[in-house]
């Protein structure tokens, strides 16, 4: 890549990409060509400018996520408030995007990059969630109930890592459908166990809630002023931040704090995938026999990839439990939680790390506008349409009832239809298709694409 | 994990209780109960799983919409029964209607499955098998949700089993009968008969018909079958249709079963159990499916009995054991009881 020999700093610039695809050799040639057509008179640029340039896509996405609550707040005061609340995902949905996006990314990390479909990934997510809930209730031996959340987060991730090691050690003797099935089997055994495990709570199939009153505090260790409590309706809220007249609600605090956790995890996963280790993962996906023939001990590479993925899935679960202040077997350990991650990964683009995040965004947006609460499309239509239209009979029910039946809470239906259409017509997913369009990892190609339109 | 085991599975360490239970296990009434219930469950598992085996054996497609098809079968069959049966309908008429429902559901779902294969799955055979799995999963999502909408609009609750359909069972099957001293629900006997019929029917189809030959050959060596000039595409359409039809029959079988009954939740529950049976038996193997349904069915009734005696107070035992059986089988013998190593290269 157009690295100037006189500028050693360029060497250290990670070849960032919002989607971090590791190209096949053909793509590599392509990007070298592209690199040489990009402006080469960059020797006078300092490293920060180069770094920013390489991470332009990341910065844009982070900025979009950071500004979104502010934009929502502004829209709320304009005449478009009803439209905004009906058609845009609310802040709570955006928090779901964050932790489900992280979970879907961790699923994609192993399934999209090594090609081993992990059908029991919810086992790690659930482990993370239950560690937080049980520890916050003081039910984990040796862990007091007032342990800082950052420590619990790590504990949850490490335990998920260990569970993944144990499951992986047995499962990686198999491949293909058999691998998918044995991971599913393990996850279902744990699910059935937790569902009937009376230690969790009085009604274990309902799960458990965090009994302490205050939120769990997340933040930078040893820096007290940066600690904020997160948790739905139980976290910190800040009024008049920095004297700018901006109020940050408890939900918004959770959003930003959890967003930082997800961001750090994303960059960690991205860094692993861009390392030589990540290249071996892709080699395993493309041709496992050849990777073995080159001399890689593929079993341990698969194990490491699987357990690293379990680690991040554990963090996602822990973040979910801290925010939701509780977990149940059905929303953490169940097969359909893995299925959600799979849907997000396919819609966003499997084999692109950031793709699942966009898949999660799409998933939650759909769920939010078709909500059973009072700010979805159904309510909007009922307010918009005149009363006599609403009471028109359609197939034996009024139009208003019809909306209620086919729209309210029907996100899985439309998601299923869109999922099928994606599998049939957009097999590379959202980000994967964009990547094919611009001819390489989006983050890497974005500067060149922007340059084309600059003059 | 050790902590969880210690507190989660409160295995009673009371020795007399275990000895007492063991002595009770070898009583004729206990054995009869475990065996008859186990065979009944095995019959249900077989019918639920055999379609999945046929489809996987020939096509190498793990059909994730199998459970949703069984759910459709349960609802369509239930609808027919509710329409046909009134309070005054006699036992014989009810059983006759049941078989009419079985035939009708099989016809409807075979046509439906063939259409789905022809229109949706056929265009993507040139992709990796994962995309066919994903597609059938998407179909399952849509079917489940459409069913929920229809069921909700018609005033039938989507989640708890549809009681009106369950109530069409003749009194003969809901009563309990004395078998060697054990009170056994009549339905189990009926299920055993149906299961034997199903095993015989599928065996005859596989061994005495042309398409049966294609399926057996296809699950051994798909390339060779294609090279011999058999229209594999058309065989795929027909087999997928038949697999769907069998799932539908499985759904009708569930209609009277107090443990299942028509509900939207079947789409996932049936799928998971069918996977367990098919994998324990060996993907694509008919004999394996028969053996695995027997194994799973009898394990299920044994663990249920174990729980009912109070030796184990862990309520989730049957489900836990069944998935544990799956994991154990994959560890010890990944290709399943009768499976061929690396079936169809998947």
Pairing of strands A397-398, B176-179: unpaired
Q: How many domains does chain B have?
A: 1
Confirm whether B344 is domain-assigned: no
Instruction: Decide if A424 and B124 are in contact by the 8 Å CB cutoff.
Output: yes
Specify the pLDDT at position B182. 73
For an interface test with A, give the residue of B7, B130, B157 to mutate (most A CBs within 10 A). Answer: B130
Instruction: Decide if B134 and A346 are in contact by the 8 Å CB cutoff.
Output: yes
Confirm whether B342 is domain-assigned: no
Confirm whether B228 is domain-assigned: yes
Q: Which residues pair with A230 in a beta bridge?
A: A216
Please choose, from the candidates A393, A90, A98, A54, the residue with its C-alpha nearest in 3D space to the C-alpha of residue A260.
A98
Q: Which residue has the tokens 């994609």?
A: A108
Specify the pLDDT at position A262. 93
Range of the domain at B39: 2-332
Q: Is the dihedral of CA A286, A292, A295, A298 positive or negative?
A: positive
Question: Rounded CA gap, B312 and B7, in Å?
Answer: 13
**Which letter, b or e, does each residue of A259-298 get, where b requires 16 or more Cβ atoms within 10 Å of its Cβ?**
bbbbbebbeebbebbbeeebebbbbbbeebeebeeeeeeb
- CB proximity A47 to B under 8 Å: no
| Inter-chain Cβ pairs, chain A and chain B, closer than 8 A | 118
Please choose, from the candidates A258, A230, A363, A234, the residue with its C-alpha nearest in 3D space to the C-alpha of residue A315.
A258
For an interface test with A, give the residue of B316, B321, B328 to mutate (most A CBs within 10 A). Answer: B316
- Contacts B265 to A, Cβ<8 Å: none
- Evaluate if residue B197 carries a pLDDT over 70: yes
- Contacts A342 to B, Cβ<8 Å: 134, 137
Q: In the predicted model, what is the mean pLDDT of residues B209-234? A: 82
Specify the pLDDT at position A39. 46
Give the gyration radius of chain B's Cα atoms. 21
Please choose, from the candidates A263, A249, A229, the residue with its C-alpha nearest in 3D space to the C-alpha of residue A70.
A249
**Which letter, b or e, does each residue of B105-138 get, where b requires 16 or more Cβ atoms within 10 Å of its Cβ?**
bbebbbebbbebbbebbeebeeeebbbbbbbbbb
Tokens representing A67 are 């500004």
Question: Rounded CA gap, B164 and B172, in Å?
Answer: 17
Instruction: Decide if B142 and A174 are in contact by the 8 Å CB cutoff.
Output: no
Nearest by CB to A415, which of B141, B276, B319? B141
Determine which helix (DSSP H) or strand (DSSP E) holds B117, and give its type and residue range: none
Question: Rounded CA gap, A346 and A204, in Å?
Answer: 32
Specify the pLDDT at position A246. 64
Q: Is the dihedral of CA A170, A173, A174, A179 positive or negative?
A: positive
Instruction: Decide if B149 and A186 are in contact by the 8 Å CB cutoff.
Output: no
Tokens representing B101 are 């429902």
B25-74 residue pLDDT tens: 777 778 888 888 899 999 999 999 999 998 888 888 889 999 999 999 99
Nearest chain A Cα distance for residue B141, angstroms:
5
The domain spanning residue B223 has which CATH number?
A: 1.10.3470
Specify the pLDDT at position A1. 37
- CB proximity B141 to A under 8 Å: yes
Specify the pLDDT at position B212. 85
Specify the pLDDT at position A27. 37
Confirm whether B24 is domain-assigned: yes
Confirm whether B341 is domain-assigned: no
Task: Please give the mean pLDDT across all residues of chain B.
Answer: 83
Q: Which residues pair with B185 in a beta bridge?
A: B176
Which residue of B lies nearest to A426 if distances are taken between CA atoms?
B131
B106-135 residue pLDDT tens: 999 999 999 999 999 888 888 887 888 889
Determine which helix (DSSP H) or strand (DSSP E) holds A28, and give its type and residue range: helix A25-37
Does residue B245 or residue A240 have the better pLDDT?
A: B245
| End-to-end alpha carbon distance in chain A | 24
CB A334 within 8 A of CB A194: no
- Contacts B320 to A, Cβ<8 Å: 189, 192-193, 196
Specify the pLDDT at position A6. 40
Confirm whether B192 is domain-assigned: yes
Determine which helix (DSSP H) or strand (DSSP E) holds A422, and give its type and residue range: helix A411-425
DSSP letter for each residue of A85-147: HHHS--HHHHHHHHHHHHHHHHHHHHHHHH----TTTHHHHHHHHHHHHHHHTT-STT--TT-
For an interface test with A, give the residue of B3, B6, B8, B264 to mutate (most A CBs within 10 A). Answer: B8
Confirm whether B340 is domain-assigned: no
Confirm whether B9 is domain-assigned: yes
Q: Is the dihedral of CA B133, B135, B140, B141 positive or negative?
A: positive
Measured CA angle at B74 (ends A178, B40), to 5 deg: 70
B253-287 residue pLDDT tens: 888 888 888 888 888 889 999 999 998 988 878 88
Question: Rounded CA gap, B107 and B115, in Å?
Answer: 12
Nearest by CB to A416, which of B138, B276, B334? B138
Instruction: Decide if A413 and B142 are in contact by the 8 Å CB cutoff.
Output: yes
- Contacts A198 to B, Cβ<8 Å: 8
Tens-digit pLDDT string for chain A (455 aa):
333 344 434 333 334 344 444 433 333 333 333 334 444 444 556 778 877 777 788 888 888 888 888 888 888 777 777 777 778 888 888 999 999 999 999 999 999 999 899 999 999 999 999 999 999 888 888 888 777 888 889 999 999 999 999 999 989 988 888 898 899 999 999 999 998 888 888 788 888 888 877 777 776 666 666 667 777 666 777 766 665 666 677 788 888 888 999 999 999 999 999 999 999 999 999 999 999 999 999 999 999 999 999 999 999 999 999 888 889 999 999 999 999 999 999 999 988 899 999 999 999 988 888 877 667 777 787 777 777 777 777 666 777 777 777 777 788 888 889 999 999 998 888 888 888 888 777 777 777 777 777 65
- Contacts A184 to B, Cβ<8 Å: 272, 275
């Amino acid at each position: 890549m157009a690295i100037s020999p006189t500028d050693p700093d360029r060497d250290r610039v990670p070849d960032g990409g919002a989607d971090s695809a590791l190209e096949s050799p053909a793509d590599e040639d392509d990007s070298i060509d592209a690199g040489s057509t990009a402006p080469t008179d960059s020797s006078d640029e300092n490293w920060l400018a180069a770094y920013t340039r390489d991470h332009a896509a990341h910065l844009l996405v982070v900025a979009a996520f950071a500004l979104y609550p502010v934009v929502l707040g502004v829209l709320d005061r304009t005449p478009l408030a009803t439209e905004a609340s009906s058609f845009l995902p609310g802040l709570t949905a955006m928090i779901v995007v964050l932790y489900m996006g992280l979970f879907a990314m961790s699923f994609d990390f192993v399934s999209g990059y090594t090609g081993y479909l992990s059908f029991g990934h919810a086992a790690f997510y659930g482990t993370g969630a239950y560690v937080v809930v049980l520890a916050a209730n003081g039910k984990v031996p040796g862990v007091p109930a007032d342990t800082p959340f950052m420590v619990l987060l790590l504990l949850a991730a490490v335990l998920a890592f260990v569970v993944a090691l144990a499951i992986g050690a047995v499962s990686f003797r198999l491949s293909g459908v058999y691998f998918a099935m044995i991971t599913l089997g393990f996850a279902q055994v744990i699910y059935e166990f937790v569902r009937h495990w009376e230690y969790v709570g009085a009604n274990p199939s309902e799960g458990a809630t965090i009994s302490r009153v205050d939120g769990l505090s997340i933040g930078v260790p040893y820096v007290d002023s940066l600690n904020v409590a997160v948790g739905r309706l139980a976290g910190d809220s800040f009024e008049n931040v920095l004297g700018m007249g901006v109020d940050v609600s408890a939900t918004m605090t959770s959003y930003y704090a959890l967003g930082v956790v997800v961001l750090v995890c994303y960059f960690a996963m991205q860094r692993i995938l861009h390392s030589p280790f990540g290249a071996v993962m892709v080699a395993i996906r493309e041709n496992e026999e050849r990777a073995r023939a080159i001399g890689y001990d593929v079993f341990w590479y698969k194990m490491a990839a699987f357990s690293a993925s379990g680690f991040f899935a554990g963090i996602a679960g822990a973040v979910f439990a801290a925010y939701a202040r509780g977990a149940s077997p059905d929303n953490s350990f169940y097969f359909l939680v893995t299925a959600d991650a799979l849907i997000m990964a396919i819609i966003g683009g499997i084999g692109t790390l950031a793709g699942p995040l966009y898949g999660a965004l799409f998933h939650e947006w759909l769920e939010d506008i078709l909500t059973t609460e009072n700010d979805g499309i159904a309510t909007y239509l009922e307010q918009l349409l005149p009363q006599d239209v609403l009471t028109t009979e359609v197939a034996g029910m009024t139009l208003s009832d019809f909306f209620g039946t086919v729209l309210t809470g029907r996100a899985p239906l439309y998601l299923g239809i869109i999922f099928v259409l994606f599998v049939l017509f957009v097999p590379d997913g959202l980000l994967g298709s964009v990547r094919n369009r611009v001819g390489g990892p989006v983050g890497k190609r974005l500067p060149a694409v922007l340059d084309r339109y600059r003059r | 994990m050790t902590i969880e085991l210690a507190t989660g599975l409160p295995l009673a360490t009371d020795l007399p209780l275990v000895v007492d239970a063991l002595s009770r296990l070898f009583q004729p009434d206990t054995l009869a109960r475990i065996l008859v219930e186990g065979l009944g469950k095995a019959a249900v598992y077989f019918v639920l799983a055999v379609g999945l085996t046929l489809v996987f054996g020939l096509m190498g497609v793990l059909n994730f919409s199998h459970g949703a098809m069984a759910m459709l079968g349960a609802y369509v069959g239930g609808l027919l029964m509710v329409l046909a049966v009134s309070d005054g309908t006699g036992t014989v008429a009810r059983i006759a209607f049941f078989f009419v429902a079985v035939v009708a559901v099989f016809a409807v779902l075979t046509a439906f499955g063939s259409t789905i294969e022809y229109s949706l799955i056929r265009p993507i055979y040139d992709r990796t098998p994962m995309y066919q799995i994903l597609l059938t999963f998407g179909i399952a999502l849509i079917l489940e949700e459409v069913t929920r909408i229809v069921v909700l609009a018609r005033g039938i609750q989507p989640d708890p089993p549809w009681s009106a359909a369950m109530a069409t069972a003749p009194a003969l099957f809901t009563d309990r009968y004395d078998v060697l001293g054990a009170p056994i629900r009549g339905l189990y006997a009926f299920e055993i008969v149906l299961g034997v019929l199903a095993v015989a029917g599928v065996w005859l189809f596989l061994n005495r018909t042309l398409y049966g030959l294609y399926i057996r050959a296809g699950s051994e060596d798909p390339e060779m079958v294609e090279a011999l000039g058999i229209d594999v595409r058309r065989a795929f359409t027909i087999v997928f249709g038949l697999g769907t039809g069998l799932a539908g029959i499985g759904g009708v079988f569930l209609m009277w079963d107090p443990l299942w009954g028509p509900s939207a939740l079947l789409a996932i529950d049936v799928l998971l159990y069918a996977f367990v049976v098919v994998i324990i038996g060996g993907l694509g193997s008919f004999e394996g499916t028969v053996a695995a349904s027997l194994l799973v069915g009898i394990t299920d009734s044994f663990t249920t009995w174990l729980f009912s005696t109070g030796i184990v107070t862990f309520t989730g035992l049957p489900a836990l054991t069944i998935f544990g059986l799956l994991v154990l089988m994959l560890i010890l013998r990944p290709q399943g009881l009768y499976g061929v190593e690396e079936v169809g290269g998947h």
